[in-house]
Structure 1
């Protein structure tokens, strides 16, 4: 899966990163939704933005906030209109002339006096690939929305999705805390049990925050934090170097195209479980993006890393992953880089070395380890 931020120029990317920090810091859902819309309008240089979430039980999309108009709550069927179509298909829609597109509903313009010219609408997808809503921007101020705008809004939608899911978890935890407090007042004899439940939920929340939902590997954000820490520790105190592995499933698109995305998900989850079962507690195995994984192996020099990498590569290639009475086999390519004192605390350069090695493995025929 391609990282959408790769297509964003550095200036806009810097703005995006700052927006992401602000969004993830807000845990009140309604304030967060308004913040997302305001930030989106500013970042995209648009006249107006809207955010719609999917109500799966009712098969509808809804919004409590639509910038520029007073809205209590609006609902419409999933699949209707531009946002409804994006919510249903999970595909980006970029319309240069709204009134020339049959999916556009002009009633909103008629009621408000607003004139919609161009529309860009992207899906909001969670870490499991499911669509939870859509973000829509109207009327770019200096022309039409282009491919760079699509990449920027897609990346912003990803950040918004993480922030919304975190805020939703926080809201649910807060509601549970209130409920537990009432129960404690009513039945103090159950205090111990209630506290244990709260601890379990906190542990679950902490786990969810750092874990990829599909593969149960660590998520990319946690991986980056740990890599920074490990490189900084080595730069300051030295010791046995650590090694970084970038792991990519070969021809993974063929698995999805031939057997379907559920089969692809089964391969991702199975591969992750297999690798994690063979690693040390100190190793950090993460889903880096799409079919790409990353592994931090502390206290592992280059020679030891080569042995581990080839053992994992061979083991994966020999394992059949079961899905719907089928046994699917895949191979992986690996790029390996080991920290040296010359790198100091430059973790990004270490990633670059591992990425370059992975590219070399792919270009050399796949199903191999390069460094």
Structure 2
């Protein structure tokens, strides 16, 4: 009997510890979402396609694509494709270093080609697979904040002029910067969902189907954190602070002083019976 009671106590203590862990985990993930300025996966996918389409409209081009780098498998994959080749090429992969886009992915340098059919760097096998044979090509790297090449943004067959010029290259690089932001947000969201799934599964002894279900539900949990209005306002504030922090020391100090003043104001206003509380 005493042994059963001891086991019950251990089980009760373990459950309490698990619940406490989950509560702490939720708070930590909420903070991570705010600090990292995470974005939900589906909106990010929509925005990526919109960025590629907009780039092709601003720099008139009938075909465009966003390739993503897989460093582990050393592959480059068509992630977003616009134009006639969209249905054929989306999801297709080829080795890093192959073709114009592959070279940009490896070198991290932009490339403009004026006559692709006579350029030995052009991947004619990929063109044959797509059924589209471009004349001019512009490809720029999509680079993350740490300098890693995340992908390549490419446009084909410049309209309105013989070839892509330096102004086009600069403009497409600007679009690539926006793509990089969205890719890092999407990657952070995926990491957050995986973290939740692994952390919950790590509570121990879960059958494989249950662990799989937890991993699926974790994506919804991560999205719920990010959709919370308070979290969104916190993210917006965090982004503003990050922008100021990248500026001059004087701007950084001024921002810190303002935040401290608001923090003192909030503390004072929350005190029962305070003059500030009556005003609010």
Q: Do Structure 1 and Structure 2 share a fold, with TM-score over 0.5?
A: yes
Check the 8 A contact 2:110/2:140 in 1, yes or no. Answer: yes
Q: C-alpha distance in 1, partners of 2:142/2:249?
A: 22
Larger radius of gyration: 2
> Structure 2 residue aligned with 1:82, among 72, 75, 100?
100
Tell me how far apart the structure 2 counterparts of residues 178 and 32 of structure 1 sit (CA, whole Å): 26
1:90-134: per-residue Cα shift (whole Å, max 9, x none)?
111011111121101223443444230110000111122221111
Distance 1:106 1:296, change over 3 A: same
> 1:157, 1:151 → 2: CA distance?
10
> Unaligned regions of 5+ residues in structure 1, if any?
1-23, 188-193, 211-217, 227-284, 301-371
Matching of residues 60-209 of structure 1 within 5 Å: 60-67=75-82, 68-69=84-85, 70=87, 71-143=89-161, 144-177=163-196
Q: Are 1:35 and 2:50 an aligned pair?
A: yes
Alignment of 1:1-371 (within 5 A): 27-28=41-42, 29-67=44-82, 68-69=84-85, 70=87, 71-143=89-161, 144-177=163-196, 222-224=241-243, 226=244, 285-286=245-246, 295-298=251-254
Q: Secondary structure at the match of 1:94?
A: strand
Distance apart, 1:151 and its partner CA: 0.7
- Report the CA distance shift for 1:155/1:293 in structure 2 as closer, same or farther (over 3 A): farther
Per-residue CA shift, 1:270-297, capped at 9, x if unaligned? xxxxxxxxxxxxxxx42x5xxx988432
- SS of match in other structure, 1:107: helix
RMSD: 3.8
Instruction: State whether residues 32 and 164 of structure 1, in contact with CA within 8 Å, keep that contact through their aligned partners in structure 2.
Output: no
Deviations 1:319-338 (Å, cap 9, x if unpaired)?
xxxxxxxxxxxxxxxxxxxx
Q: Which residue of 2 aligns with 1:360?
A: none
- CA separation in 1, counterparts of 2:249 and 2:107? 27
Q: Higher relative CO (CA 8 A, sep ≥ 6), structure 1 or 2?
A: 2
Consecutive unaligned residues of structure 2, counting only runs of 5 or more, are 1-37, 207-217, 257-280
* 1: CA distance, partners of 2:195 / 2:47: 20
Query: Per the alignment, do residues 222 and 152 of structure 1 end up closer, same or farther by CA in structure 2, a change over 3 Å counting?
Result: farther
1:299 deviates by: 8.7
Alignment: residue pair count: 191
Measure the CA separation in 1 of the matches of 2:102 and 2:189: 27
Give the C-alpha shift of residue 163 in structure 1.
Answer: 1.0
Contact residue 87 and residue 131 of structure 1 kept, 8 A:
yes
More strand by share: 1
Q: Are the counterparts in 1 of residues 39 and 186 from structure 2 also a CA contact under 8 Å? A: no
Q: 1:80 to 1:115 in 2, by over 3 A?
A: closer
The structure-2 alpha-carbon separation of the partners of 1:293 and 1:112, relative to structure 1 and needing over 3 Å to count, comes to: farther
TM-score of the pair, normalised by structure 1? 0.44
User: Structure 1 residue 146: deviation in Å?
Assistant: 1.2
CA shift at 1:182, angstroms? 7.4
SS of the residue 1:64 aligns to: strand
Mean Cα displacement is larger for which, 145-154 or 28-37?
28-37
Is the deviation greater in 74-83 or in 111-120? 111-120
